[in-house]
Amino acid sequence: MAALGWLTPRRRSATARSVLAGEAAAEAARKTSAEDESALLTGAPDQASGQAPEEPAFPVAGDDRAAAFFDLDNTVMQGAAIFHFGRGLYKRKFFERRELTRFAWQQAWFRLAGVEDPEHMQDARDSALSIVKGHRVSELMSIGEEIYDEYMADRIWPGTRALAQAHLDAGQRVWLVTAAPVETATIIARRLGLTGALGTVAESVDGVYTGRLVGEPLHGPAKAEAVRALAAAEGLDLERCAAYSDSHNDIPMLSLVGHPYAINPDTKLRKHARSLDWRLRDYRTGRKAAKVGIPAAAGVGALAGGTAAALALHRRRR
């Protein structure tokens, strides 16, 4: 991707940067999807769907103007992809132990709280950009495949995976939409047998990362811009599309589509979803699932382990 030296955050409004980030994500997603189309059509998902919740009335089979958009962190996967990616890079000596400690604390906090903290997420992205600066995109893609197997494959929520598969079985396209780097998101989408991914686009020149972003992280309003841009390019009718997320930060994206779903919702999203009669799914614990009146899926043990680790780490910090 060519350098955009004239396009800096100080000279563009937050809204303009969101649009730029969304358009860049849509462009990257369409390019990757076109390159991988034959592999995606013949490849099998990495993980079995597991037991699905009750069958939703949607999707409609054969509707090629409908698609599904899934947030990644804590919606499709337990925890945050960027933190798992950081662990993998540390193992390969990309950075020092003190930076790993920061990644570990952010991941523990994320799993304990169950919501995104903008300050933590921004800190993690800044760290990741500085770490990959000067490395080749192809190198990070290759390493990302290994990191997926090591840290991410076992953290996919079976219930959400089943929902995504239902859209695929209906002949619809399914996209991840995440603040994680587009390269990481693309690997996860490919390994799950999905169509592609919209993610944060890091600037590269001649295949080498510059340490800067194109626009801003794909978060909040930028996600909505990415979905809008992709839908326009692909000829989708957003009223016939579905979107899934755990976070109130994604209300702009969820509000774009005709079929919004709150998955493992945080408190603000649950309240908003109930007020608008959106569908809810919770795959974390039986107690939390009972609050929204739906079955719980697998993943309780992993979440409990993460919570215990977070509490222990918090006590040590005190």
Residues annotated as catalytic (active site), given as ranges: 71, 73
**Do the beta carbons of residue 111 and residue 310 sit within 8 Å?**
yes
Q: Quick one: 47 exposed, middle or buried, by C-beta within 10 A (0-12, 13-18, 19+)?
A: middle
Q: How far, in Å, CA of 3 to CA of 202, rounded?
A: 10
**Do the beta carbons of residue 29 and residue 196 sit within 8 Å?**
yes
Q: How far, in Å, CA of 67 to CA of 239, rounded?
A: 10
Q: Where are the alpha helices (DSSP H) in the chain?
A: 14-42, 81-91, 97-113, 118-132, 137-147, 158-169, 182-191, 221-234, 251-254, 267-276, 286-292, 300-317
**Do the beta carbons of residue 262 and residue 280 sit within 8 Å?**
yes
Q: How far, in Å, CA of 135 to CA of 141, rounded?
A: 11
Polymer length in residues for the chain: 318
